[in-house]
Structure formats: structure tokens, C-alpha cells
Amino acid sequence: MKVAFLGPPGAGKGTQAQAVSRERKVPHISTGDILREAVQTGTPTGLKARAYVTAGKLVPDEIVVDIVAERLARPDCKQGFLLDGFPRTLGQAKALDAILAKSSMRLDAMLYYAVSDEVVVDRISGRRLCKSCGANYHVKYIAPRKSGVCDRCGGGLYQRADDKPETVKERLRVYREQTAELIDYYRANGLLKEISADNSVEAVRADTNRVLDAVAVR
């Protein structure tokens, strides 16, 4: 299963991708997670990416494409992968086609999570993540049993630095300007599968699984 997840910030891509990865044992590759870790640990890539991520802007294509090419070349991606947050520009989409073609592969589907701006703001403002295992919560919709503590590993929960209202506004603007055109690109090549992401996590998961089951039997 070679699938990518597209949609505005906060649409629920990461939540769904984490669940699919667990259930179907397919590696989850989130460029946002990789970049945040690089920034936090101060790697050369992290030092280059820091200002973009903090401002809610896209990291330049050449940096992100190299990260993804290196990750997809690892043995665990031979049977499949879930790309979350990549590609995000037309340049990245074309680079992905070229990376996969080199290994005689192609994407099976692009899952597009369609959601309204109101829902995006509500979801992002309540998002909390575990410092230790990365588990994803929402203070209202996916609340941990004990406030501020991860159910899975007991780690502390935190709010992402780029989830501040001003940065979210910028991320939405950047999405509309640079990423939304990918909807037409993947519709034109027949890979786009639209999922209504305004619904509950369980309903979106059921729709996601329906799409993935159809992709798996093709």
C-alpha cells in the first residue's frame, strides 16, 4: 500500500495515518514530525528548517525531497508506506513521481481530507501531543484519561509551537496558495480519493478504511 495523505493543517491526516500504520503495519512517514525532530535536535537540516517551520511557511522543496527520498529508500518501505504531509507543492509531487519511478513504483492513492476552516481552528487549538511517544490527543474530542498525561506511556502532553492562532492563519494561507492545487493534479491522474474529514474520528476512520480496502484489492 503506497498512499499519501493530503489536506489542510489540522484536517486529521496524522490521526488517521497513525491508526492505519498501527492496524496495517505500514510505515508512517510524516514530514512534519521528521522536521520538528530535526529542529529540536539541532541537526544541519533542522537548522535550515527552523525559521520556516516556526513561521508556518513551507520548508524549501529540495530539503524536504531529500528527506523523503532517503526515507523511502529504507527496506521497510519496499512493501508500502503512508506519506503524511508530503507532497505539498507541485514540485514535490513531481519529485515523488520521479523517486518512485526509479524503483518501478507508483502511488496507489492520494487520500484528500476535506474540512472547513472552522473545524481546522477548533481542532488545532485543542491539539496536544505526547512528549515521549508522540501520541495525538484533543482536549475535547480525544481527551486523555488524566489531563496533561499520555494514556499510552504516561508522558507529558504539550502544544505544538506552530499551533498558535497567528501561525495557524499563516499555515492555512500557505496551504491555499501552494498545496491546494495538488487536489487537481491528483484528480487529473485518477489517484485522488476524497474523504469528508468534518466527521468524528471513527467515521473518518471507517471512510479511510473503505478507501484503503478498495486500493488493496486493485
Binding site for ligand AP5 (CB under 6 A): 7, 9-15, 31-32, 35, 52-53, 56-59, 64, 85-86, 88, 92, 123-124, 126-127, 136-138, 141-142, 162, 171, 200-201, 204
C-beta of 57 vs 187, nearer to ligand AP5:
57
C-beta of 34 vs 218, nearer to ligand AP5:
34
Radius of gyration of the chain (CA): 17
Q: Report d(CA 57, CA 5) in Å as an integer.
A: 19
Shortest reach from residue 217's CB to ligand AP5, in Å: 26
**Cβ within 8 Å of residue 117, ≥6 positions away:** 8, 172
**Residue 210 a catalytic site member:** no
Q: Which helix (H) or strand (E) holds 129?
A: strand 127-130
Shortest reach from residue 19's CB to ligand AP5, in Å: 10
C-beta of 26 vs 58, nearer to ligand AP5:
58
Out of 13, 36, 128, 205, pick the active-site residue: 13
Q: Say if CB 141 and CB 126 are below 8 A apart.
A: yes
Shortest reach from residue 67's CB to ligand AP5, in Å: 9
C-beta of 31 vs 45, nearer to ligand AP5:
31
Shortest reach from residue 104's CB to ligand AP5, in Å: 24
Q: State how far the alpha carbon of 29 is from the alpha carbons of 4, 122, 200, 207, 209, in Å.
A: 9, 25, 23, 21, 18
Out of 88, 123, 128, 205, pick the active-site residue: 88
**Residue 171 a catalytic site member:** yes
51 phi/psi in degrees, rounded to 5: -65, -35
- Count the Cβ atoms, other than its own, within 10 Å of residue 82: 24
Shortest reach from residue 149's CB to ligand AP5, in Å: 15
Q: Report d(CA 77, CA 216) in Å as an integer.
A: 16
C-beta of 33 vs 108, nearer to ligand AP5:
33
132 phi/psi in degrees, rounded to 5: -90, -50
Out of 24, 71, 94, 160, pick the active-site residue: 160
* CA trace torsion 80, 86, 87, 89 (10° rounding): 180
Catalytic residues, by residue number, are 13, 88, 127, 160, 171
